[in-house]
A and B are shown apart, each in its own frame.
Chain A
Amino acid sequence: MTIWIGTRKGAFALKSDARRRSWRLSGPQFLGHVIHHIVQDPREPNVLLMAAKTGHLGPTMFRSTDRGRHWREASKPPAFRRAAEGETPRAVDAIFWLTPGHASEAGAWYAGSSPAGLFRSPDGGDTWDPVAGFNDHPMRPQWAPGLGTPGGELTHSVLVDPRDPKHLYLGISIGGVFESTDGGRDWAPLNEGVAADFLPDPNVPFGHDPHSVVMHPARPDRLYQQNHCGIYRLDRPAKRWSRIGEAMPKKIGDIGFPIVLDPLDPDTAWVFPMDGTTVWPRTSVGGKPAVYVTRDAGRSWRRQDRGLPRKQGWFTVFRQAMCADRHPRTGLYFGNTAGEVWASSNRGDSWACIARHLPQIYSVTHAS
């Protein structure tokens, strides 16, 4: 298996056999490029897409058809439509997120951008068109008014319901979670029950900051999100999120960027808590990095820090930088801002550092 590492300065790959005992690092590819996401196509495993830009140049997309050995630039990368007279012109600054389309739609992909935008490719990522139903939605200026995170306004967590290609979700930081049931033509906010402590009125229908939203592949009605203001679960068709982070230890809190699910168990989720107090250091709490796991859908959480530094470990793990593999005994991986990749082959019970000295890590994704 391969773990793809997107960093602020290029792409790397960690390869292992099925036993996951030793890892071989390769790369960098596209040294110096900002790589936000590298994603394999589960429908066509030889195909990978990579979202890239450099400090000076505009965004683009690279596509591989040989599992990442060679890459070719998309002939038409994601771009907003030309602004009409009097409209505020929008330009893609970065492609932040990649999601393969539904299993029945060969070659379909979605991409989320900064500033907030949604794009779709019908041809395996070679050409991209704006999803007008979202990008030109009459409410979009209110849903995504450009309130940037330090990385800009981000569209992420584009989710496709495996039972229905027209049923989509996405997250905007800052903007909230939105749902479409008609293939992206229309969208509605889905944020009830989610806190927005940073707003004057915390009971708003949108304006929230979901850091990461995930859907369980075997139970697509079950959503989890790690939000700027807590950890939540939602079992559709209900519309009100429950704050399952309330069960986290109070001294740890329930703030973080990533949330990762066990493909084999809809009740299991992992988070990497960070310090969201005072000025928001966003590092591991107290310099003692730890993963927390729930095995009962958020009713209780357990600390998993065996093998991680016991002190003076000031990690930040970004939202795409943690993933699970597809092994019968689920393995977990995360990359941090210090350029380290940590792995667990026993569902988080113990951790080992499998790469270090890489550039700041933006994404960690599993490929078969």
Chain B
Amino acid sequence: MAVMSCTVRIASPLRSYTNGVASVHASGTNVAEVLADLEGRYPGMRFRMIDEQDRIRRHVRVFVNEREAATLAEPVARGDQVHLICALSGG
């Protein structure tokens, strides 16, 4: 069984991938590894958040605890909370 190093909060637009679950555990030492772990369990989820050039999409934000991740290299430590946030605007 994989080492569960962090908790990931899933924004509602992404919960179709997690069967409606709002919080899951994942492992990884940075955001890229955490997302790779999630992609293995929830196929297709990563590409909705991260484009083909490994950039976080325009209306998506990733926070590690209260620190916004500018890139996927942002470190993640055991016990951290990773927040996958979708910024909705317009009608």
A91 touches B55 (CB 8 A): yes
Instruction: Say whether, besides A75-B43, A75-B44, A57 and B51 are in contact (CB < 8 Å).
Output: no
Partner of B52, one of A55, A74, A82: A82
In the complex, which residues of chain A have a beta carbon less than 8 angstroms from the beta carbon of B60?
A: 56-57
A56 touches B86 (CB 8 A): yes
Give the CA-CA distance A91 to B56 in the complex, in Å. 11
In the complex, which residues of chain A have a beta carbon less than 8 angstroms from the beta carbon of B50?
A: 58
Nearest A-chain residue to B89, judged by Cβ: A55
A39 contacts the other chain (Cβ, under 8 Å)? Answer: no
In the complex, how many residue pairs between chain A and chain B have their CB atoms under 8 Å apart? 55
In the complex, which residues of chain A have a beta carbon less than 8 angstroms from the beta carbon of B40?
A: none
A54 contacts the other chain (Cβ, under 8 Å)? Answer: yes
B13 touches A79 (CB 8 A): no
In the complex, which residues of chain B have a beta carbon less than 8 angstroms from the beta carbon of A56?
A: 11, 13, 57, 59-60, 86-88
Nearest A-chain residue to B53, judged by Cβ: A89
A99 contacts the other chain (Cβ, under 8 Å)? Answer: no
Interface of B is mostly: loop
Interface of A is mostly: loop
A92 contacts the other chain (Cβ, under 8 Å)? Answer: yes
Nearest B-chain residue to A79, judged by Cβ: B52
Chain B interfacial residues counted at CB < 8 A: 21
In the complex, which residues of chain B have a beta carbon less than 8 angstroms from the beta carbon of A74?
A: 44
Map CB proximity to A onto B76-91 as digits: 1 under 8 Å, 0 otherwise: 0000000000111110
A91 touches B51 (CB 8 A): yes
Instruction: Say whether, besides A56-B13, A73-B44, A89 and B55 are in contact (CB < 8 Å).
Output: yes
Say how far A26's CB is from chain B's closest CB, in angstroms.
20
A283 contacts the other chain (Cβ, under 8 Å)? Answer: no
A60 contacts the other chain (Cβ, under 8 Å)? Answer: yes
Say how far B11's CB is from chain A's closest CB, in angstroms.
8
Partner of A58, one of B57, B87, B89: B57
In the complex, which residues of chain A have a beta carbon less than 8 angstroms from the beta carbon of B53?
A: 80, 82-83, 89-91
Say how far B27's CB is from chain A's closest CB, in angstroms.
23
Map CB proximity to B onto A255-277 as digits: 1 under 8 Å, 0 otherwise: 00000000000000000000000
B64 contacts the other chain (Cβ, under 8 Å)? Answer: no
Say how far B26's CB is from chain A's closest CB, in angstroms.
19
Instruction: Say whether, besides A75-B43, A83-B53, A91-B53, A55 and B90 are in contact (CB < 8 Å).
Output: yes
Q: Which chain B residues in 35-67 approach chain A with CB under 8 Å?
A: 43-44, 47-53, 55, 57, 59-60
Residues of chain A whose beta carbon lies under 8 Å from any beta carbon of chain B: 54-58, 60, 73-75, 77, 79-83, 89-92
With A56-B13, A57-B60 known, 9 other A-B pairs at CB within 8 A are A55-B89, A56-B11, A56-B88, A57-B48, A57-B86, A58-B47, A79-B51, A89-B53, A92-B52
